Structure formats: C-alpha cells, structure tokens
Chains A and B, each alone.
Chain A
C-alpha cells in the first residue's frame, strides 16, 4: 500500500472507529439547536423520543464496532499500525471497556425511558446532559493519555452542571446563592479538578510523558523518586473521588436535613451519579493497569491504601444509611456504598497474585445500575403520588399495587445481595476476588457492611408489606416508566439465575 493509500485507509479506518462518538456529537448539536431555536416546545416529549431513538442507533453502531474490532482481521490490522487511536482516543476493541460503554448506553436508554413523563408540570427536561455525559464517559473509559482523561472528566462535569441548572436550581430560589446546588456542585468539582491536575503534573514532571504507554515505558527509570510517583497516584485518585462524589452530595444532601423534604431527584441525576462512579472506577483500573506504576515501583502499600479507601467508603455509607428516613437519602447513601464496592476490584486488581480482571467491576456496575434506576423510578412515582419523599409513602403497597411491590422487592434483594437476583452473584464475585487475594480483613468488613445494609434496605420491605398505609389508591405509573421498571427487574432476575450470560 502506498503511503497515501495507507494514510487514506487509516483516515477511513479511524473515522469508522469513531462513528458512535460522531453520532452522539450530532445528537448534542441537534438538541442544543432544538433548545436554542425552540424547534419544539419545552414540555413536548418530542426531544425525549428523539433522544431515545437516537440512542438505539448509537447502541447499534457501538455494538457493530465492538464485533467488527473483535474479528482477527481487525486485530492484526490494528496491531500492524501500533497503538490505534487518534489524538489520544484509543479504539475500543473487544474488551471490557467497550462492554462498559454498551452498558452505559443501555443505562442512558432506560433513564430516558423512565424520565419521559417525569415532572410533566415543570417541563424543563431537555436531555442535553445525556449526549454530553456519554461522550465524556466514552473518553474516560479508555484514555490513551492523561489529557484525554482530563477532557473526558470535564465533559462529564459539564453534563452534570447542565442538569443541575436545568432541573434543580429553579426549585431552590429561596436558598441564598452560595447554598444553591449548582454553585455547591461547581465548587466541589473545581476542587476535584485541581487535585487531579496536580497529580498529573507530578507524573508529567517525573516522566516527561503524557501518553500512558510512554509513561509505562519511562516509569522504571524513576525508581529513586518512587514516592513522588505514589503521591501522584493518590492525588489523582482523590481528585477523581471528589469529582464523582461531588454530584451525589450536591444533589441530595442539602443542609436543612429535615425541613425540605421535597428534594426531587430525577432519573437523570441518578444516571449521572451511577455512570460517573462506574467510569471513575474503570478509569482508575485502566490507569493503574496501563501504567503498571505500582508493580514496577514495588509500592505494595498502595493496595492497602486503596483497599482502605474502599472499605472506609463502604463502612461510612452503611453506618449513615442506618438512620435515614427519607427514601432519597437511602438511595444516596446506597450509591456511596456501591461505589465503595466498585472500588474493591480496582484495589484488588493490584494485588500480586490476583487473577481478577475487569469482569467483576463490569458485572457489579450493570447490576447496581439496573437496581438503582428501577428503585428511583418507583420512589419517584411514590413521591409523585404522596407529595413527600418519606419512606412511609410506600406503606401498604403490597395490596395497592402488588406487581410494583414485587419489583421493588427484587431491587431491594439485589441491593442487599440476596439470591435469585443479580446482586447476589455480583457480591459473590467481588468477595471471591478478595478471598483469592487473601484480603481476608476486607472480606470481614464487606460481610459486616452487607449485614447492616441488608437491615436498612429491608426497611423498604417492612414499609411495603408489614405496614398499612393511609391512602388506598393504587399507584399509577406512566407506561414508559413501568416498562423501564419491568426491564430492570426482569434483567436482574435473569442475571441472578444465569450470571454467565453477561460474562461471555
């Protein structure tokens, strides 16, 4: 092949790789245009259905790409030209990252489905955040160099910011300016970015490289400065943590604990939190595995450090969960616990002998996402019906709408990690990882947290089955939302019975 053809084919080849991303960009532009030029009225569901169909197309493209890349021809073709990727965006071959991306697209699809009829009266939902978040996460999943990582993260935060502005800020006019969630969120994400960049600068200072592969090559000769390298990792980990944690804190946990209970969490916010946590864990995993900084510098205490962070996050979330009376707060703290769970495979994967791969992280993420979305949808419906976000809204649900109660039971069991639901195998898989890595103390902490958290999660069941509520009206749910819930519940049960499916 002559040079130009090679260049041409490479150009063709790279564009083919990036079709899903380009489609998402296109979606973003159309939506922005829609909002700017009032192509459709704000309240209309048109934007929702448009996004929905568009996401299906994107999913198909990504799936085709994953399969295409998987074929031998493509692999040897890609190897032939060295690390594929244009401007730091590696191509998603047949590996876990692309699986993760597909999962997130499915998540986005379900979220849009659930929020189609949400808040009909305050029609402010314009789905701008969906494409931006997806693009951001896409970059985060498999960055080939630090800059891409940074760009992805900022894109994701932008999406979150836009969501907050659109949905939550209006409700909080009565709060003083600094108290408004938007400002609190942006300040916190700012701190996160600062820490992240500070860590990156250390790495850049040490190795003079930004590309991960190059860093890996150059890392071995900075043996004497191992400690600085370790400092860089910790800083970057904290930066990512703060960035991701900013969102849940910003949205849920307002200062006036008891007074205003009408905190509205939308499916969108939930999506961003869950996807964000998943992406962070994935990027940390990717970062540490690619640069193999820890193995090379022999900093084995790094494992203990990360495991400690994961364990403390879980313990903190469980203990805080026990006192919650508000449904929203329970979900908030549950997300904190589950993000701790997601961190565990990351921390373990560093352990020398452990054979675990990305699989447990991916599997747990899928299960966590499904359960969270389903639960949010139901609780949102309850909040709609009763006007207050308290748990007692669920009382007596078993005879008001039995099938909804059954779905909620599946979600609760999945959170608690009890059999027949996906949550069980996710827990078993992660516990297996920590058992193989002989991190027995972590196993103990996880067992204790699961026990206490199960008691708290079963609060839902106590309300639904063992208490009789005041109003007897059965809960109406828009068709799309109930469809979404059914999808989540059935998927969870199927994952519970045959976990192998996802693994293939």
Chain B
C-alpha cells in the first residue's frame, strides 16, 4: 500500500510553503521566522521518515506520478516525482541535515536582523534539494537545479554589504549557469533523440541499458559529455570548482547545507544517468581522469590552506572527486552511500568550524592553537567528524570505502593507487588541522583566552552533538547488519562488494595511520613556521585562478569595444543619408532660383533630346 509514497510530493512542498510564508513575513518577527523555517524542514523530515519506513515493508514497489507541464499537440513536457529506495534514503538524508542546520542557524544567526530572510532562502534551498532527489525526468532535474543555483546565489550574497560576497555570488551564479547550460543542451538532445520524446530516467535506463543502439553512437557520446559538463559544474569538479571555493562568503549554516546535502545532488545526476555514461566509454574515461585530478589537487590545496573554512571546502571538492571516480567506475550505490556519509560528516565538521568561528572570532588556523582545554566539545566533535571522513575502521565510512576500493581493484590498479593517495592526503590534512587548532601552544591572544568570546548558544551545541551521535551510530549500524544497506538499495545486487579482501583492509588502516603521522609532522613544521612569521603559508594557486577569470573578463571587454565601434558606425548611417539629402537640397534650390529663361529653355531641350534617345532605343522612333 503506497499511502505515503503517493504523498511524497508533499515533502518538497512543505519547505516551499515555509519559503512563501517567510517571504510574506519579511523582516518581521524573528522567532516566528525560526519556527516556520525549522517547522517546514521538520515536517518534511517526518514525512520522508514515514516514506522510508514504508519502503522496508515487503512488496514495496517504486511509485511514479507526474503532471504535464506544457502540452503542444503531440508533444507534452511532464514534471513528476518517483519514489525508489535511493530517493527515499536521499530524502531522509537531506531533510535530516536541513533540520539540524536550521536548529544550528537559530543559534548561529541570532543577532542578524535579516534572520527571517535567511530562513526563507534556506527553505527555498531545501525545497529545491528535496525536489531534485525526487525528480523523475531530466527536465524536472534541470528545473530544480536552476532553482537550487538561484537559492545558492542568494545565500552566497546574503551579507550583501560585503563586496566580496557580491563578487562571490556573481561568479558562482555565472559558473552554475554555464553548467546548467550544458545540462539544458543535453535535455534538448535527449528530447529529440529519445523514442517518443521520453525524458524520464526510467526510459533512459531501458534505452541505454542494453546499448540497444536506439541512439547513434556519436549522439550518445555528445549527450554523455554534456551531462558530464553539467555534473562537473554541479559537483564542483576540476574545471568549474572555483564557485564552491567562495562558499566561505556564505554564512556557516548555509555552507554546511551546501557542502553536505547540496553536493549530494551533484553526484545524483551521474548516478541517475550511469547507463548513458556506460554506453560512452570515452566520456567515462574523461570522468575518471577529472575525478582523480580533482581529488588529488583539492587534497593538496587543503593541506596548504590556512583558513579553516577553505580547508573544509577543498576537502569537500576532493571527496566529490573520489565519488565521481567511483561513480565512473560503476559502483553507483556504494558511491551514493559514500556521498551520504560524507554529507553527514562534512556538515558536522562545518558546523563545528562555525562553532569555533563564533568563539575564537577568526577562521585563520595560524591564529589558533591549544583549544582542546577550553573547548572540549568542539575538539571531540571535530575529531569524530575527521576520523569518520577518513574512514576509521569501525565507522560506516570504512566499509563503503572498502567496497569502492574493491570495485577499483577489479578495474585498474591505477585508480586504486589514486584513491589510496587521496585517502593518505585526506588523513594528512585532517590531522594537521586538528593538531594545529587543538594541540600545542595558543599562537595568538584570541586563542589563548576564548572565554571572553560570546558563549556559543545551547542550540548550536545540541545540533552538533546529535550529528556526532548519528555518525557514530551509523558506524555500528553497518557492523550489526553487515552490508544490508547495499542489498536494500540495489535490490537484487549479488554480493559484489562481498569480496572485500582482508589485505585491502589492512592497507587502508596502514595508510590512515601514515597520513595521521604526516599530518602531525606537518603541523609541527607549520606551528614553528607560524611562530616565526605569520603569513608564510600564502595561498599558492589563488593567483592562477584570479588571472584566468580576469583573462575572460578582458576578452569580453575587447569584444564589447569592437561591437560598440560597429554600433557607432550603424548609428552614423542615417546621419550620412541626411547629409547627402541636404547637399542635394542646396543644389536643387540654388539651381531653381538662378534659372533664367535661358536655363529653362536649355532644360526643356535637354529633356526632349533624352526622350528622343529613349524612344529611338525602344524602337518607337
């Protein structure tokens, strides 16, 4: 009985309702704003939990329903939602994270007078994420992703007074626009090449599954590459990662939700259209390379960064690189689970960082040190989050990592090596950050006596603790039921992940410990370096990105100037014609004035002669 599944479309509508109410409230009451925002998210969490539980009952079949958005005689464009195991899990994940972030934000943004406006943007973002996870066809996916990018744009530019926030919002929106342009093109291509214009993922699955050749080879590659462009943009992969790097401008809860739940949907597109990628090997190859390059590059950047938020952002980018890598390898379900776990840990870490920011006042690691004594809660939650992210054995991260490694080992040893390197680097920068912040001597006055920083409100600590509990629990959840989650998600998938060799597990633990040791070493050197002169750890590659952007801007300016010249010329055309007419006018008037009798006679004779000539030419003469 699908009672809850049918009502699944309500889940995204609740935050949308909250958004509309909050917009109506405007800058009015704060408390009402908080309650409406959090209430919306909580209601959708409750409903998605019900849907999720209903999925466990036997005989739960996927449910799909849609209404037609535009219908032109034979062709109709439909928007709808489908409830499958994967989407149910995603729903729960997104709504859970958004509820916790809402609670956290109540504390974090207490003094900001535009709190209700912030909550309205957050509920719009939650609405688009929930709708994305429910979307059943490519067009719906495009629609809601555009809405998500708009809400991101608004969130980035929330503290609009800062010009850096404004620039960040603009760059983010334009880059996302580029990515969604790719997705739009893919939708158009799919629309015209799929049999009877079907756009929903199920149809895509059947058509591309058997490589039945229903669609020509080059078209599939084209579609796949466009989808890759879209996914790369959404999941902030190598060429288009710059927009996520200025997520630091956004308030901490917003960047938490973005890096956690937001990035989940980035990977969602790839997972829903894996069949297209499988039938376009060249594009999968490219996806693999992009994944590896992003993961490694971002991990190295994270190792170098001084700003705690930047470190976390680059770690998100590198983890997404890993996810894209695993998706391209074909481990769809385990990579989606990996993304879910990563989302929970990353939200925990970002919220904890926000916590730190509130108390210490600055995000610069160089200025912190030895905070464990003063902020034990932050230190513990930070530690749990970091270890879960790196995949400490008992926690779920480890098991999912193993299944991805198993998949990678079957394909090609190079990918396995890459993933191992990334794990090593992740462990390194995580431990470096931990040691720099919480261990050693406090390096600046602020870090030394955090008490006078305002006491973080209870709400913030509640949500951080709940998150940490979930991370630990999910670990044992994995131990107790073994690899139940994969079966449940895959339905019939045979124990492909079963063959996790013991050797790989031991290698993983070794790499983990090596990484931590390297982190500790790096922390030692950095700490001493920082004591000597403050800003040695300059951001190396910031320059590279900046001049790339300015190069584009310059080229547009040059093109614009050239066109303006053409515009000038076009404007001058009528003026030229006017001058010509005036000149003719002067001639005509002067001629007719001076025309004496002689002139008139002459003119008449001339006229007659011409007519005679014409007559002769026409043979009438």
Contact = CB atoms under 8 A, between A and B. Distances in A.
Given A195-B604, A227-B621, A234-B608, A301 B615 contact: yes
B411 to A, nearest CB: 73
Contacts of A443: none
A234 B588 contact: no
B620 A305 contact: no
Given A195-B604, A227-B621, A253-B592, A301 B614 contact: yes
B584 A319 contact: yes
Interface stretch (A91-99, A320-328, A343-351, A476-484): A320-328
Q: Is the interface of B mostly helix, strand, loop or mixed?
A: helix
Interface in B160-186: none
A201 to B, nearest CB: 16
A238 B601 CA distance: 10
Contacts of B593: 253, 255, 257
B607 A316 contact: no
B592 A191 contact: no
Contacts of B618: 300-301
A320 B589 contact: yes
Given A234-B608, A253-B593, A305-B614, A299 B582 contact: no
A191 B586 contact: no
Interface string A222-242: 000011001100110010001
A323 B591 CA distance: 14
A436 interface: no
B582 A304 contact: no
Contacts of B414: none
Contacts of B600: 188, 191, 242
A465 interface: no
A231 B593 CA distance: 28
A242 to B, nearest CB: 7
A226 B620 contact: yes
Nearest to A455: B578
A323 B608 contact: no
A452 interface: yes
A321 B614 contact: no
Interface in A449-473: 452
A493 interface: no
A220 to B, nearest CB: 16
A227 B620 contact: yes
B581 interface: yes
B2 interface: no
Query: Size band of the A side of the interface?
Result: 20 to 34
B611 A323 contact: no
Interface in B549-595: 581-582, 584-586, 588-589, 592-593, 595
Contacts of B542: none
Contacts, number: 65
Q: Which of A231, A235, A238, A319 has the most CB of B within 10 A?
A: A319
Interface string A178-193: 0000000001100100
Interface residues of B, number: 23
Given A188-B597, A191-B600, A320 B620 contact: no
B589 A323 contact: yes
A358 interface: no
A298 interface: yes
B604 to A, nearest CB: 5
Interface in A188-208: 188, 191, 195
Given A249-B592, A316-B588, A323 B582 contact: yes
Contacts of B585: 319-323
Contacts of A188: 597, 600
B608 to A, nearest CB: 6
B596 to A, nearest CB: 9
Given A187-B597, A299-B620, A323-B585, A305 B611 contact: yes
Contacts of B607: 234, 238
A452 B584 CA distance: 12
B601 A320 contact: no
A320 B592 contact: yes
A231 B604 CA distance: 12
A322 to B, nearest CB: 5
Interface string B116-157: 000000000000000000000000000000000000000000
A305 B611 CA distance: 7
Contacts of B582: 322-323
B42 to A, nearest CB: 65
Contact of A452 (B581, B597, B611): B581
B581 A322 contact: yes
Contacts of A242: 600, 604
Contacts of A235: 608
B588 A319 contact: yes
Contacts of A322: 581-582, 585
B620 A304 contact: no
Contacts of B601: 191
Given A227-B621, A253-B592, A298-B620, A323 B615 contact: no
Interface in B466-517: none
A385 B618 CA distance: 57
A188 B600 CA distance: 9
Contacts of B611: 230, 234, 301, 305
Interface in A422-465: 452
A227 B613 CA distance: 12
Interface string A300-330: 1100110000000000100111110000000
Q: Which of A235, A257, A300, A320 has the most CB of B within 10 A?
A: A320
Interface string A149-173: 0000000000000000000000000
Contact of A323 (B586, B604, B614): B586
B104 to A, nearest CB: 64
A316 B589 CA distance: 9
A115 to B, nearest CB: 27
Contacts of A316: 588, 592
Given A188-B597, A191-B600, A301 B620 contact: yes
Nearest to B577: A452
A226 B608 CA distance: 15
Contacts of A323: 582, 585-586, 589
Interface in A244-260: 249, 253, 255, 257
Contacts of B604: 195, 238, 242
Contacts of B615: 227, 230, 299, 301
Contacts of B614: 301, 304-305
A231 B608 CA distance: 8
B581 A319 contact: yes
A195 B607 CA distance: 13
A257 B590 CA distance: 9
A191 B588 contact: no
Nearest to A239: B604
Contacts of B620: 226-227, 230, 298-301
A227 B604 CA distance: 17
A98 to B, nearest CB: 33
A390 B528 CA distance: 91
A182 to B, nearest CB: 15
A203 B427 CA distance: 116
Contacts of B589: 257, 320, 323
B603 to A, nearest CB: 9
Which A-B residue pairs are the 10 nearest by beta carbons? Answer: A323-B585, A320-B588, A319-B584, A319-B585, A322-B585, A320-B589, A319-B588, A301-B618, A227-B621, A316-B588
Given A300-B618, A322-B582, 4 more contacts: A227-B620, A235-B608, A316-B592, A323-B586
Interface of B: 581-582, 584-586, 588-589, 592-593, 595, 597, 600-601, 604, 607-608, 611-612, 614-615, 618, 620-621
25 contacts: A195-B604, A226-B620, A227-B620, A230-B611, A230-B615, A238-B604, A238-B608, A253-B592, A255-B593, A298-B620, A300-B618, A301-B614, A301-B615, A301-B620, A316-B588, A316-B592, A319-B584, A320-B585, A320-B589, A320-B592, A321-B585, A322-B582, A322-B585, A323-B586, A452-B581
